[in-house]
Structure 1
Amino acid sequence: MGLTRNFLVTTVTILLAVNLTVNACPPSDRAALLAFRAALNEPYLGIFNTWSGTDCCTNWHGVSCDPETNRVADINLRGESEDPIFEKAGRSGYMTGSISPALCQLDRLTTLVVADWKDISGEIPACIASLPHLRILDLIGNKISGQIPADIGKLNRLTVLNLADNQISGSIPSSIVNLNSLMHLELSNNKLSGEIPSDIGKLSMMSRALLNRNQLTGSIPSSFANIYRLADLDLSMNRITGSIPAQLGAMPVLSTLNLDTNQLSGEIPYNLLSNSGLNILNLSRNSLGGNLPDVFGPKTYFTAIDLSYNNLRGSIPKSLSSAKYVGHLDLSHNHLCGEIPTGSPFDHLEGSSFADNDCLCGMPLRTC
């Protein structure tokens, strides 16, 4: 009887151990995560203290696995979040080190978020472009340098590419236009140079493109207008030249367009100001000339229009008074002349909105 009981206990123990092993992450995934951790130093919060034991699918901070395969699917490490670890410490995250190429061994990875750690440096491992299931790549808010991997376009499932607020240089890879699932592209506040790919309009699923605060040159690709879903386009604070493509004014979903602080010239396309869907328009600090198009009407609704610091001439269109709503209007530092129209929105604007023009008069400036 005793032998039978011992045999049963031993059998159950072995079965439990086998079951735990089956439900745990593969040793290769665990090894890749530990190599990733070894390349980083997080001195204050101890977020990697949970990365212990054989099963990286259970209670490893920021790691989750596919419930069917137990392969690592998501790495989600944000240095600024509402996680109890940060709330208890009363501080945001800080981390040094680099992103290890060992991550590329996690070939079932769908999400890689290593964001807002302030001091992670080094380059983006080129092999990241070989992760076939990657949908989200978010490395915002670090000190990552080097170039965007040339083969980034191989990630045909990628929906979010956020590399903003780093020190990435070089050009935008031409292969980026092959990311046919991409919805959000954020590359702002880096050191990117060269031209925007002319066929960027192939990114037909994209709703947000933020390329501001770089050193981009060349002209604005007219193919942006082919992106039907594009609602937010920010190319401000670059070195972009040429004129504003008139096609942008015909975009049906575009809500925010920021082109300020570039070297744009030519006239403002009339359909930019008559587009009833456009809500925020900033063309300030360029070399735009010509007259202000007289195209405003009852459907005009702008939260903000900033056309300051250009070479605009002529008078302020009286049709602006018929607009449904204009919250903020800045026409300062141009060469405008004549009487400022009366009524809304002019009755709530300050003199600074019209300052430093050639010969504007009327409220809120001097009497004509």
Structure 2
Amino acid sequence: MEAMKKSFLIALSNTIVVLLLAGSSTVVQACTPYDRAALLEFRSKLNEPYIGVFNTWKGQDCCNGWYGVSCDPNTHRVAGITLRGESEDPIFQRAKRSVLMTGSISPAICKLTSLSTIIIADWKGISGVIPNCITNLLFLRIVDLVGNRLSGVIPANIGRLQRLKVLNFADNQITGMIPTSVTSLTSLSHLDLRNNNITGVIPLDIGRLTMMSRLLLTGNKISGHIPESLTRIYRLADIELAMNRITGSIPASLGKMSVLATLNLDGNLISGEIPGTLMASSISNLNLSGNLITGKIPNTFGVRSYFTVLDLSKNRLQGPIPASITTASFIGHLDVSHNHLCGKIPTGSTFDRLEATSFAYNDCLCGKPLGNCRK
């Protein structure tokens, strides 16, 4: 009997030791007190009264159940903050439709030295500046602060973030120039600075960003020419530079880019003639409206020409609509209004479905859908 008791006590002791070790392991795997304190300091500068996204930020383990916080499973350091003001998450669907978070982005976020993702997007009420110290977070791959009221400038040393793939500061109130250090972000695939108050020029050596597929700068006060180096980014599919103060002519090499599908240059001060390369390129959405472009519409359309949108309106174009336009594979929307075009509108399936507004306010265009031409 004594031997059985002894064996039982030994087994019980071993079980207790295992449980204690397991409990100790769980504590080790929780987020570090340092990261937890940094998150709470970051949260203290934000106010979100409608949804309660921060109601889950309780307890010691910020890696478990804290809304929008993700951790590296190996190091248990905070690796991501994802807070979106427009989300399909059920927590948002149960809330009021008017979602708004106010406050500012605290520099405390820079204490989270393992961060690879910062998404604080579409809250429309977050103001203040972008903390300069984010350029010390060298593991960052995504920085998305779209849709707030952030002001100030883009941190000058943003180019230190060599792993960065997405940089999105669109729909804010950012001023100043595009930092020249941006061209050091050689892993960047998506640059979106739309709808801010950015001035200055596009960096001349932007062509160094060979991994970039989208360059979105619409709705700023950017001036200067379109850099020729831009056309050497062979992955670039979308270029949106509309509603700026860009001058000079359109580089003909834009039409030689193999995957470029969208080129929006409308609402600038661009002059010169339309390069013929654009009409036989891979571009399917071409908007040159509202510029100072002169000369004729190039007679270079062909079977490669496939346009969902071709908008050349509100320029100073002269001459006829070229006959080769009828050889295009497809033109969904065509607008050549508000120019100085003259002559008979070509006939064919492309033109049968277009309305008179597509050709209005020219010098002497005629034919369907306008009036008959004089003999």
Code of the residue aligned with 1:270 in structure 2: it is: G
Code of the residue aligned with 2:34 in structure 1: it is: S
Partner of 2:351: 346
1:7: how far off? 6.6
Code of the residue aligned with 2:360 in structure 1: it is: A
Q: How many residues align?
A: 367
Contact persistence 1:93–1:116 (CA under 8 A): no
Partner of 2:166: 160
1:19: how far off? 1.6
Q: SS in structure 1 opposite 2:325?
A: helix
Structure 1 position 265 matched with structure 2 position 236:
no
Distance in 1 (alpha carbons) for counterparts of 2:161 and 2:271? 36
Distance in 1 (alpha carbons) for counterparts of 2:173 and 2:50? 24
Distance in 1 (alpha carbons) for counterparts of 2:12 and 2:99? 51
Of 284, 290, 315 in structure 1, the residue corresponding to residue 320 of structure 2 is: 315
The runs of at least 4 aligned residues of structure 1 exceeding 6 Å deviation read: 1-10
Of 125, 129, 132 in structure 2, the residue corresponding to residue 126 of structure 1 is: 132
Structure 1 segment 10-49 matched on structure 2, within 5 A: 11=17, 14-49=20-55
Partner of 2:144: 138
1:247: how far off? 1.2
Distance in 2 (alpha carbons) for counterparts of 1:246 and 1:92? 47
Code of the residue aligned with 2:179 in structure 1: it is: P
Q: SS in structure 2 opposite 1:195?
A: coil
Contact persistence 2:145–2:169 (CA under 8 A): yes
TM-score (norm 1): 0.97
Contact persistence 1:330–1:353 (CA under 8 A): yes
Structure 1 position 68 matched with structure 2 position 61:
no
Deviation larger for 182-191 or 8-17: 8-17
Q: SS in structure 2 opposite 1:328?
A: strand
Code of the residue aligned with 1:360 in structure 2: it is: L
1:58: how far off? 0.2
Contact persistence 1:255–1:280 (CA under 8 A): yes
Structure 1 position 324 matched with structure 2 position 322:
no
Structure 1 position 203 matched with structure 2 position 213:
no
Code of the residue aligned with 2:198 in structure 1: it is: L
Contact persistence 1:25–1:56 (CA under 8 A): yes
1:15: how far off? 2.9
1:13: how far off? 6.0
Code of the residue aligned with 1:100 in structure 2: it is: S
Structure 1 position 333 matched with structure 2 position 338:
yes
Distance in 2 (alpha carbons) for counterparts of 1:272 and 1:29? 52
1:4: how far off? 7.8
Contact persistence 2:121–2:144 (CA under 8 A): yes
Distance in 2 (alpha carbons) for counterparts of 1:75 and 1:97? 16
Of 346, 362, 366 in structure 2, the residue corresponding to residue 361 of structure 1 is: 366
Distance in 1 (alpha carbons) for counterparts of 2:103 and 2:14? 50
Q: SS in structure 2 opposite 1:157?
A: coil
1:359: how far off? 0.6
Q: SS in structure 1 opposite 2:167?
A: strand
Distance in 1 (alpha carbons) for counterparts of 2:23 and 2:73? 19
Code of the residue aligned with 1:352 in structure 2: it is: T
Of 189, 203, 211 in structure 2, the residue corresponding to residue 183 of structure 1 is: 189
Structure 1 position 222 matched with structure 2 position 233:
no
C-alpha distance 16-92 of structure 1, shift in aligned 2 (>3 A): farther
1:12: how far off? 5.5
Contact persistence 1:200–1:223 (CA under 8 A): yes
Partner of 2:65: 59
Of 271, 293, 297 in structure 2, the residue corresponding to residue 288 of structure 1 is: 293
1:107: how far off? 1.0
Q: SS in structure 2 opposite 1:120?
A: strand
Contact persistence 2:50–2:96 (CA under 8 A): no
1:10: how far off? 6.7
Larger radius of gyration between Structure 1 and Structure 2: 2
Contact persistence 2:317–2:340 (CA under 8 A): yes
Contact persistence 1:98–1:120 (CA under 8 A): yes
Distance in 2 (alpha carbons) for counterparts of 1:194 and 1:133? 29
Q: SS in structure 2 opposite 1:104?
A: helix
Code of the residue aligned with 2:270 in structure 1: it is: L
1:239: how far off? 0.5
Distance in 1 (alpha carbons) for counterparts of 2:203 and 2:303? 37
Distance in 2 (alpha carbons) for counterparts of 1:298 and 1:17? 70
Structure 1 position 103 matched with structure 2 position 109:
yes
Distance in 1 (alpha carbons) for counterparts of 2:122 and 2:315? 36
Code of the residue aligned with 2:356 in structure 1: it is: G
Contact persistence 1:86–1:92 (CA under 8 A): no
Q: SS in structure 2 opposite 1:119?
A: strand
1:87: how far off? 1.3
Over the matched positions of the two proteins, sequence identity in percent amounts to 60
Distance in 2 (alpha carbons) for counterparts of 1:9 and 1:117? 51
1:324: how far off? 1.1
1:189: how far off? 0.4
TM-score (norm 2): 0.95
Distance in 2 (alpha carbons) for counterparts of 1:6 and 1:91? 57
Contact persistence 1:74–1:112 (CA under 8 A): yes
Q: SS in structure 2 opposite 1:33?
A: helix
